[in-house]
Chains A and B, each alone.
Chain A
Amino acid sequence: DAGVIQSPRHEVTEMGQEVTLRCKPISGHNSLFWYRQTMMRGLELLIYFNNNVPIDDSGMPEDRFSAKMPNASFSTLKIQPSEPRDSAVYFCASRYGTDSGYTFGSGTRLTVV
């Protein structure tokens, strides 16, 4: 298995632009998580899906952030419009069941200038 695949690895965009981050979870994993990592706050959960259904989006910072999971093998995290304070590394993770650890993707480093 190729693991959790995220794209792009790096994204540099101008303030105000729309940014879409993509994630392909491990096949068979039924939970998918989006995390944001910053120096100040460490790893923070933004949203997670269980069987493609959003369960908890209380970590999504603002309405500018949205996430979808149209099927079991794909999820997107969209920021529109982007702002410089959104600059961070965004990780996607997936898991099967409830007793296993999370498998993280390599992350997308977002820079908004």
Chain B
Amino acid sequence: ILNVEQSPQSLHVQEGDSTNFTCSFPSSNFYALHWYRWETAKSPEALFVMTLNGDEKKKGRISATLNTKEGYSYLYIKGSQPEDSATYLCALLTGANNLFFGTGTRLTVIP
């Protein structure tokens, strides 16, 4: 079992603010790191799959970085919009194809 920790647990920001949150993990013994966006009453939606130290991915206003040596990944949202409100999940994929999820950061963007 991999211990995937996410912080903060919840976050409220004003519309237009930029924000970021953290996924931390104890070791680099994994195959890939995934980020998912999970809106209430829907299912998790894949945002990024990251495999390499120093990897940086971007999709619109959302980007993510990965530091395997120090055991963290950051997710950034630039200019938050109300539709960004969701729970953002980080997950580590082991070589055995087991995806261990963190408990998520719940983001609320206030109009």
- B interface residues, how many (CB within 8 angstroms): 24
With A42-B103, A56-B96 known as contacts, the answer to whether A98 contacts B89 (CB < 8 A) is no
Pairwise interchain contact B47-A101, C-beta atoms closer than 8 A = yes
Pairwise interchain contact A56-B46, C-beta atoms closer than 8 A = no
Distance of A98 Cα from B31 Cα, bound (Å)? 9
Q: Which residues of A contact B99 (CB under 8 A)?
A: 33, 45, 102
Please tell me which stretch of B22-30, B36-44, B61-69 contacts chain A, meaning at least 4 of its Cβ atoms lie within 8 angstroms of it: B36-44
Contact string against A for B residues 89-105, beta-carbon threshold 8 Å, 1 for contact and 0 otherwise: 10100001111111110
With A42-B103, A99-B51, A101-B49 known as contacts, the answer to whether A107 contacts B97 (CB < 8 A) is no
Pairwise interchain contact A56-B104, C-beta atoms closer than 8 A = no
Pairwise interchain contact A107-B103, C-beta atoms closer than 8 A = no
Pairwise interchain contact B103-A100, C-beta atoms closer than 8 A = no
**B13 located at the interface, meaning its Cβ lies under 8 Å from any Cβ of chain A in the complex:** no
Contact string against B for A residues 93-113, beta-carbon threshold 8 Å, 1 for contact and 0 otherwise: 000001111111111000000
Pairwise interchain contact A91-B43, C-beta atoms closer than 8 A = yes
Q: Which residues of A contact B42 (CB under 8 A)?
A: 106
Contact string against B for A residues 42-76, beta-carbon threshold 8 Å, 1 for contact and 0 otherwise: 11010010100001100100000000000000000
- A interface residues, how many (CB within 8 angstroms): 22
Distance of A33 Cα from B49 Cα, bound (Å)? 17
Q: Which residues of B contact A55 (CB under 8 A)?
A: 97
Pairwise interchain contact A102-B101, C-beta atoms closer than 8 A = no
Pairwise interchain contact A42-B45, C-beta atoms closer than 8 A = no
Q: Which residues of A contact B31 (CB under 8 A)?
A: 98
Can you list 12 pairs linking A and B with CB atoms under 8 Å apart? A4-B43, A42-B103, A43-B89, A48-B98, A59-B98, A91-B43, A98-B32, A99-B51, A102-B36, A103-B46, A104-B43, A104-B45
The 7 closest A-B pairs by CB, nearest first: A101-B46, A104-B43, A43-B101, A104-B44, A42-B103, A101-B49, A106-B43
Chain A interface (Cβ within 8 Å of chain B)? 4, 31, 33, 42-43, 45, 48, 50, 55-56, 59, 91, 98-107
